[in-house]
Structures are given as structure tokens and as C-alpha cells.
Copies of this chain bind each other. A is one copy, B any other.
């Protein structure tokens, strides 16, 4: 019987689960839309989904070894809790305890940690020893592979890479601090900057791109207009790259990683983004003259990152 691991990608609006083999292949997957409001429904939904996946594995002669979770929120990996997560009420949700009658090893981690592990086991950073993953979305998620292993910090509450201070007493951040990297280099920050630049540069191509309605601004607005040569958009992207680049220099100085892996919506910009980031890091000597260079890569596992990464948590 082939060994498989179940990975669960918990989102605020849907929960996806899949059976993953030791090659990182998803053998089957399923999902459930959760109303995202009620803890009891949330837990019941997860259990039903898992029972379905486990049954499929049994019917198809796969030997389930354990269940890993990637959760968009704060977890306690020792106690198997979700302390809190977006879109779901409740505190300290006893997920591991709730699932104990499944009689399988269970491990709960943060979604960005899980993405980093997936990329290092089966994705773009395969086999690398030191990897820093940044997911650029509503916020900035961070995941760390250090000395070849996932690093989570005490209780699994580390790797909050979006919450390093870039500008002392800068913008208020959702975490309670001020001036966090997330406030300047997340996708949300890019949208804010786009609107600010548009207000300032009334003749920018970005207005046309948005049909002259600032409410149509998206993560593409600045990037697509910069590619077409719009001056304001290029200035904006340079500023954004500087913010993100300075955060990456912090992590370069701390970790000297073989690679940075960029995920999240903004990573769709691919080499256009990574080339700019690489140029910035090179110009700054990766934080220190004489420092080893780091690759800047785009995450590869995309929508399957959550399932594959979560399943990887319990592999050896």
C-alpha cells in the first residue's frame, strides 16, 4: 500500500483537502464551501471533508499517514489549536482535539509556512537549505526553511516576516505596530500607492487603464502601465520594489538564503518583478558587500501549494 498524507488548505471561504503521495502528487482532492462564520459549522465541515478523503484513500488502497493543516491565522502547533483566523469567529479552536477520533497524526501550521515547505519539498526551491518565502497578498505572509527544515518558532508563531519595522513610527499596521513591511509591500499597499499616484499624476496612463474610475484600480494597474512606459507607473513600481527590496535585504542579512520565493497575487508578474528585485538586491550587495547572492524565484505550486505543503508537514 502506497503511503499518502492528507493536506488541508483552510481558507476563510472554502476548505480544500487532498491526498498527496511522497512525490508531492495530489491523487484526489475535494473541497467544501464553508459559511466562514460559525466555529461549529467550520469544524463539522472539515471533519466531513476529511472522512470523504480518507474513505477514498481506503477504497483505493492508499495508506493514510497523517493530516496536515495550513491555516490563514495564528496557530499553536504544540497544542493543535487555531488561536484565531480571518473570517471565522472564535478563539483557540480545538481542531486537533476535535479530530482525535480519526486516529491519525495531526499537525497544524500557518498557511505561509506550509507554502514554504511545499516549495522546498516539491516546488521551485526543491532541496534548498535556506529559503525565505514571501506571499504578497492582502498582507505579507512569511515562511522559512532553515538548515533544510521548516522553521516555525515557539508555538509555530514565528516567521511573521511581514511584521518587521521598515519605517519607525510609520503607517499603522493591523498587527498593532507601526511601519511594518506589510504596510508598504503587500498587494493592498500597492493598491493604496496606485490610488495615491493617480491622484498626484492626473495625466498618467493609469487613469485610462481604469476607465477614469479610481475604483477600478487593481494589482495590475501599475504593473501593466509601467510595462507600457507610463512614467508615473514606473516611478510607483520603483518605489514598491524599493520597499520590498529593503525588507528582503533585512532577510538577506539575517538568513543568507539560497533563494527568496515570491508567492501571492503579485507573483503573477513573474520575471518582470523578480528581475527588478534581483537588480535592487545586487545594487545593494545583498545587504553587505561580499555577501553570497540569493536567487529570487516565483512560487510554483500556485493553487495546490496549500494542499501539497500541508501534506508535507508530516512527511518524515
A176 to B289, Cβ gap below 8 A? Answer: yes
- The complex places the Cα of A159 from the Cα of B291 at a distance, in Å, of 12
Which chain B residues border A257 with CB–CB below 8 Å?
A: 153-154
Known contacts A176-B284, A284-B177, A292 near B160 by CB under 8 Å: no
Taking a contact as CB atoms under 8 Å apart, the answer to whether B290 and A153 are in contact is no
Output the least CB separation between A295 and chain B (Å).
11
Closest residue of chain B to A293 (Cβ to Cβ) is B154
From 52 to 108 in chain A, residues with beta carbon under 8 angstroms from any chain B beta carbon are 74, 83-84
A163 touches B288 (CB 8 A): yes
> Within 8 Å of chain B (Cβ to Cβ): is A258?
yes
Q: Report 13 cross-chain contacts, Cβ distance below 8 Å, ordered by A residue.
A: A74-B288, A83-B290, A146-B146, A146-B151, A154-B256, A158-B254, A158-B255, A160-B254, A160-B288, A165-B165, A165-B247, A166-B168, A168-B246
Q: Which residues of A contact B (CB under 8 A)?
A: 74, 83-84, 129-130, 142, 144, 146-147, 149, 151, 153-155, 157-161, 163-168, 170, 175-177, 243, 246-247, 249-250, 253-258, 284-285, 287-292
